[in-house]
Amino acid sequence: MTPALEQLQKQLKQLPGIGYRSAERIALHLLVEKPARLPELVAALEAAARTVRRCARCGNLAEEAQCPICADERRRTGQVCVVENVQDLAAIERSGAHRGSYHVLHGKLSPIRGIAPEDLNLAALFDRIASGEATELILALSNDVEGEATCHYLTERLPASGVTVTRIGFGLPSGGGVLYADAVTLKSALEGRRSYS
Amino acid sequence: MTPALEQLQKQLKQLPGIGYRSAERIALHLLVEKPARLPELVAALEAAARTVRRCARCGNLAEEAQCPICADERRRTGQVCVVENVQDLAAIERSGAHRGSYHVLHGKLSPIRGIAPEDLNLAALFDRIASGEATELILALSNDVEGEATCHYLTERLPASGVTVTRIGFGLPSGGGVLYADAVTLKSALEGRRSYS
């Protein structure tokens, strides 16, 4: 193969979920099968790199100073859903289960991977609580040691205020049977049992 | 999500093997996790679009007038392996089983999909035979109706010359057991039996 093609394949292979074969297939698709798509892709990449930035309020992606969710008056309910990253935010948005705003930490505490509190988008969250804008935190962090550590750190350091803090439920996923659940999930499910009447 | 991000995801989703979730993951990877990679990817795409063209001799991808294989004197053996597309050429190159040159048809005959002989890179192949440069054709086209039709058309229209024509063997793939082979493969394998001594 030619050097420019090799370089393109190398760049494509660094993307998440793209292996050697997919990189070759995409490169040849853009160069041989659909060459008209290549400048369109380049334009979309450049436009996104130029216009997309972090929302000053919550850390979500934005094209204005605030993201579309923060800019939406109807979503200023005081309920703030705290998530690890933008993907998690997008997943919760797709579920339609949360109508308040978000706060994106851009990571979770991990001494092993060297991620300390100052690496997370925490100061802006504490500001939102101190100003009285956030009245309820819903911690939608993962059900693992790092998610647990992050929740623990966050609640320990909360500014003195009457903010309510909840953490999303853990247990059997939708459609999941007891037989197929692992021991940790079953433990979470039993600990998270609720009165049934 | 923001409009520029949506547009980027739409462009990524059009690539082969990239679905909705992968497009989101790649877009956020390039915008949030590894923003330094985005300009590198854009540069690689633009460089490839600018420099990569078709080899004037065989139809493979090239950055000079001829592709690296045609430019290699040691590979001018008269043996020309005829393939459907550049991916197939790359697969045969990886196997190391062919040391001659190639000819890329950029498709195969298909009345159903409206692909006629004039859509294929055939004229250049006939020129290579007429000039005496190609002395043996190895038809490495797929084992299906369209591959069969293309081989048939090609041999019917060959310029009057002493060129030898063979077609690659069909049968059980490496590691494949008789029990797991489909009926058409077994038929090909039986028809393609060779004396064993």
What is the CATH number for A139? 3.40.1360.10
Mean pLDDT within A148-154: 91
Residue B20 included in any domain: yes
Instruction: Say whether B5 and A39 touch across the interface (CB within 8 A).
Output: no
ipTM of the complex in this document:
0.74
Q: Is A91 on the interface with B (CB under 8 A)?
A: no
| CA A184 to each of CA A65, A157, A169, A177, A187: distance values in angstroms, whole numbers, following the listed order | 41, 28, 14, 14, 5
Distance between CA atoms of residues B196 and B174, nearest Å = 18
In B, minimum Cα distance to A93 occurs at B1
Q: Is B62 on the interface with A (CB under 8 A)?
A: yes
- Same-domain status, B36 and B91: no
In B, which residues are within 8 Å of A85 by CB distance?
A: 28, 32
Give the CA angle between residues A130, A133, A135 to the nearest 5°. 85
Contacts 24+ apart (CB under 8 A), B8-11: B8/A44, B8/A45, B8/A47, B8/A48, B10/A44, B11/A37, B11/A40, B11/A41, B11/A44, B11/A45
Cβ neighbourhood burial of A142 (10 Å; 0-12, 13-18, 19+): middle
In B, minimum Cα distance to A31 occurs at B49
Distance between CA atoms of residues B151 and B142, nearest Å = 10
In B, minimum Cα distance to A60 occurs at B1
- Same-domain status, B105 and B155: yes
- Same-domain status, A44 and A81: no
Instruction: Say whether A5 and B61 touch across the interface (CB within 8 A).
Output: yes
Residue B182 included in any domain: no
Q: How far is B161 from chain A (nearest CA, A)?
A: 32
Q: How far is A147 from chain B (nearest CA, A)?
A: 19
- Same-domain status, B81 and B149: yes
Q: Which of A65-69, A94-98, B101-105 has the lowest mean pLDDT?
A: A94-98
Q: Is B48 on the interface with A (CB under 8 A)?
A: yes
E strand or H helix at A166: strand A164-167
What is the CATH number for B19? 1.10.8.420
* pLDDT tens profile A157-171: 887 778 889 888 888
The pLDDT value given to residue A142:
87
Count of other CB atoms within 10 angstroms of residue A49: 17
- Same-domain status, B93 and B149: yes
In A, minimum Cα distance to B5 occurs at A48
Instruction: Say whether A44 and B4 touch across the interface (CB within 8 A).
Output: yes
Size of interface A-B (CB pairs under 8 A): 160
Beta-carbon contacts of residue A148 (< 8 Å; ≥ 6 apart) = none
- Same-domain status, B86 and B160: yes
Residue A175 included in any domain: no
Residue pointed to by tokens 């993201």: A67
Q: How confident is the model at residue A197 (pLDDT cuts 50, 70, 90)?
A: low
Nearest to B38 among A3, A49, A87 (CB): A49
Q: Which of A69-78, A88-97, B175-184 has the lowest mean pLDDT?
A: B175-184
Instruction: Say whether B10 and A44 touch across the interface (CB within 8 A).
Output: yes
Residue A67 has pLDDT above 70, yes or no: yes
Residue A102 included in any domain: yes
Nearest to A86 among B14, B28, B42 (CB): B28
Distance between CA atoms of residues B43 and B26, nearest Å = 17
In A, minimum Cα distance to B7 occurs at A44
Which residues of chain B, if any, have pLDDT below 70?
195, 197
Q: Is B52 on the interface with A (CB under 8 A)?
A: yes
Q: Is A37 on the interface with B (CB under 8 A)?
A: yes
Tokens linked to B112: 């159903």
The pLDDT value given to residue B197:
64
- Same-domain status, A46 and A81: no
- Same-domain status, A86 and A163: yes
Distance between CA atoms of residues B99 and B92, nearest Å = 10
Tokens linked to A4: 């420019």
Q: Helices marked H in chain A — which ranges?
A: 3-13, 20-28, 37-51, 68-71, 86-95, 123-130, 145-156, 183-191
Residue B18 included in any domain: yes
Tokens linked to B60: 């493979």
Instruction: Say whether A37 and B46 touch across the interface (CB within 8 A).
Output: no
Residue A21 included in any domain: yes
Residue A111 included in any domain: yes
Nearest to B29 among A8, A15, A51 (CB): A15
| CA B130 to each of CA A179, B3, B103, B106: distance values in angstroms, whole numbers, following the listed order | 71, 56, 14, 21
Residue B68 included in any domain: no
- Same-domain status, B31 and B107: no
- Same-domain status, A24 and A105: no
| CA B109 to each of CA B106, B121, B150, B154, B156: distance values in angstroms, whole numbers, following the listed order | 10, 11, 5, 10, 14
Tokens linked to A35: 């060459």
- Same-domain status, A162 and A91: yes
Domain span at residue B32? 3-51
Structural domain tally of chain B? Answer: 2
Nearest to B26 among A16, A24, A37 (CB): A16
* pLDDT tens profile B13-52: 999 999 999 999 999 999 988 999 999 999 999 999 999 9
Q: In this structure, what is the dihedral angle of CA atoms B21, B24, B30, B33, given to the nearest 10 degrees? A: -80
